[in-house]
Structure 1
Amino acid sequence: MTSLFDDTPSFSDDEIPQFDVVSDISDHHFAGKRLKTSLSTSISTIASVHKKIMQEWKVLSENLPESIFVRAYETRIDLLRAAIVGAQGTPYHDGLFFFDIAFPSDYPAKPPVVYYHSFGYRINPNIYNNGRVCLSLLNTWNGKKSEKWDSKNSTVLQLLLSIQALVLNEKPFFNEPALPPWLGRAFWEKKSITYNERMFILSCKTMLLVLRRPLKNFEPLINQHFKDRAEFILNACDSYRKGLPKDGFVKGEVSAKFQGEMDRLYGVLVLAFSKTGAHVEPLLQQVREEKEMKAKEKTATDTATATYVGKIISVVSKLKKIVFWGFTTENKNKKSKTDID
């Protein structure tokens, strides 16, 4: 990977830069969709847009936080792709969330267009499974004038930070508009806890799909991130499934449904993280032993059930014989009495 600006620090092969310029755009959502340019658009306007985009590149290359990564494209300066790491204390913690960005032909008069790689999951009230991102800053959501895109001051960096902090937040349920206040805060807080559990499940499923189908130009980041964070993620998941949360976003009790879902996902996550080179062999062994134990328990249960059912069938069979014998005896007695009469 190469650096764009001379004053950008160079990176060794084993380091992953926050910002970089790459060439492969083949899986970018907007790769085959050039945003329309009016015939009346002047060369000077196009040059002005390109200049502004290059300024955005420089801002990103110098100011990205450690939890956001961006790739620009050599042959399509109107496109970007960003990876955002879910913040600690949220149901998105340690997840990787990918957004494809396209600059309009009259940028910055209009905000960028953003597409989220959902893998079919709706992880937030503001982010849909069709990739749509609803945010005031993108002019895709209602908001105060101060919250909307400002062609003089708004930037892509501001946009990415807003998605991370305001959308993928600690209590995303409250991103829902117009929750009826008469039901009380306590009612909605309870709903929020349930929603967070569901969002973490979807976040884990997204992790698995990101690992199976990594987005281009982010393969090293994806592998390294989950290799580095595997232990923390799995410790959190293990505590969730056991109903004893001590890590992650849960501060109190978890529901039985959430425990069951985490129990089913835990082994799959351990196996997926093991393929990144993460040191999870002890956990793999634990998962194998648990699987064997569950298989034995199932066999024992099936055997006990079969035995119980067999006894029931035997009892029913005997009862049928008794009833049949009684019925036959009664008929014989009736016939004997008829013969006498």
Structure 2
Amino acid sequence: MEKKSTFDLVSDDSDHKYHNKNIAGNCFSDTKSAIYKRIMKEWKILEKNLPESIHVKAYERRIDLLRAVIVGAAGTPYHDGLFFFDIQFPENYPNNPPKINYHSFGYRLNPNLYASGKVCLSLVNTWNGKKCEKWDPSNSTLLQVLVSIQALVLNANPFFNEPIYRSVSRSSYEKKSRAYNEDAFVLTCYTVINLIRKPPRNFEDFVKEHFRERGPVLLAACREYANGRVRIGYYNCNEIASSSTKTVIKVKDSLKVSLRNAYCIMYKQFIGCGASLEGFLPVLEIAVQEKRKSKRSNGGNGIFKKVMGKIKSALGLKRKKKKKST
């Protein structure tokens, strides 16, 4: 099968975040200008080196603009989601890094990705990182920015992206990290819903095709997470496939409700994408394992005590209760 291109040219930039930003001069249209040549170099780097999990579209009439989508990686709470970014090369590029805006739909699903669309990252000089982490006009590229977002921002433990938690013992904050992952996955599901309802221009077919294929995975993940069979983020992850445990993970009622609601909406959206959902119900089924366990525990212990009482009595081992003195 022929590999699909991860870099394409399109013409319609009308819904781009930076579409209306005024551009001084003609530096982006002058083919002899230094910035024009640098951007063409960036295009070639992207075309040649983009991984299959990152797709970029550049604009024929506005070479200063690009739009990128990153596929959430397995083993993270962002798995199988799509994360879109609008990018603009500034007029003094590469002296300054590219501007970048995240399509958030109003959700804050990562410490580095704000609900406002701001991307907080040292490499684009929106965070005060070490000098070696900041934008270097001589060596830094847009490809590095995108790969950094995928690997360092949309990672397995985003809770520790917060600067105040980066240097602490991870084990002492494991519970909070897991809770953050739970919220991140639910918000990823709602991001999916919004993307299907209103896909970014020029990516309509890409979004539909992606969720036609990966929609069933997200539904199955909701089912496994809600029933405590897999920890959030690790469904369909090869790293834990061989170390799965029969121990049922305790799932908060609030998380079950959130997953159930997201599942129901996604189910309808994936049907619209043409996904094959055989084996899935329109409503998420959650086993009442904890209640059953509780009933078995309470009822079982009661029956066990009665039986043992009769056995001890028959064997003369059961002590008779002393009568209270009057």
User: Shorter-chain-normalised TM-score: which range?
Assistant: 0.7 to 0.9
- For 2:116, the equivalent position in structure 1 comes to 130
Mapped contact 2:103–2:117 kept (Cα < 8 A): yes
Task: Please give the alpha-carbon distance, in whole angstroms, between the structure 1 residues aligned to 2:58 and 2:179.
Answer: 38
Asked if 2 retains the 8 angstrom alpha-carbon contact of 1:83 and 1:98, the reply is yes
1:238 is aligned with what amino acid?
Answer: R
Question: How far did residue 259 of structure 1 move?
Answer: 1.8
Corresponding residue for residue 212 of structure 2? 227
- What is the root-mean-square deviation of aligned Cα atoms in Å? 2.7
Specify the structure having the higher radius of gyration (Cα): 1
Amino acid in structure 2 at the alignment position of 1:90:
T
Q: What per-residue deviation string (whole Å, max 9, x for no partner) do you get for residues 183-240 of structure 1?
A: x543311111000000111000000000000000001110111111122111111111
Q: How much has 1:168 moved relative to structure 2?
A: 0.6
1:150-229 aligned at under 5 Å gives the runs 150-179=136-165, 185-229=170-214
Distance in 2 between residues matched to 1:287 and 1:87, nearest whole Å: 26
Letter of the aligned partner of 1:234 in structure 2?
A: L
Instruction: Map residues 45-194 of structure 1 onto 2, 5 A cutoff.
Output: 47-179=33-165, 185-194=170-179
1:287 to 275, 282, 289: 282
Q: Residues 135 and 246 from structure 1, CA distance in 2 versus in 1: closer, same or farther, beyond 3 angstroms? A: closer
Say whether residues 1:21 and 2:9 are aligned partners.
Answer: yes
Bigger proportion of residues as helix: 1
My pick for the range that moved more, 136-145 or 262-271, is 262-271
Give the whole-Å Cα distance in 2 for the aligned partners of 1:84 and 1:273.
20
Structure 2: segments with no counterpart, 5+ residues:
241-248, 286-326
SS in 1 for 2:57: strand
1:337 paired residue number? none
Match of 2:70, as an amino acid?
A: I
Superposed displacement of residue 91, structure 1? 0.6
Q: AA paired with 1:83?
A: V
Q: Residues 165 and 254 (structure 1 numbering): CA distance in 2 closer, same or farther, change over 3 Å?
A: farther
**Which whole-Å deviations, capped at 9, do the CAs of 1:221-278 have from their partners, x for residues lacking one?**
1011111112211111111122222784367544332122101221211111111111
**Distance in 2 (alpha carbons) for counterparts of 1:269 and 1:27:** 25
Q: Note if contact 1:226-1:276 (Cα within 8 Å) is conserved in structure 2.
A: yes
TM-score, scaled to structure 2: 0.78
CA gap of 1:243–1:42, structure 2 versus 1, over 3 A, is closer
Shift of 1:181: 6.9
- Matched residue pairs, number? 274
What is the Cα deviation at residue 179 of structure 1? Answer: 3.2
Distance 1:265 1:53 in 2: 41
1:236 to 199, 208, 221: 221
Deviation of 1:287 (Å): 2.3
Match in the other structure for 2:268: 271
Contact 1:16 / 1:221 at 8 angstroms: preserved in 2? Answer: no
Question: Does structure 1 retain, via aligned residues, the 8 Å contact 2:17–2:101?
Answer: yes
CA distance in 2, matches of 1:131, 1:239: 31
Partner-residue secondary structure (3-state), 1:101: strand
Aligned counterpart, 2:258 = 261
CA 1:180–1:122: 2 relative to 1, 3 Å: closer
Point out the more displaced range, 274-283 or 173-182: 173-182
Q: Quickly say closer, same or farther: Cα 1:93–1:135, change in 2 above 3 A.
A: same
Report deviation, 1:134: 0.7
Q: Normalising to structure 1: TM-score of the pair?
A: 0.74
Q: 1:46 touches 1:105 (CA, 8 Å); kept in 2?
A: no
Are the equivalent residues in 2 in contact too, given 1:245–1:253 (CA < 8 A)?
Answer: no
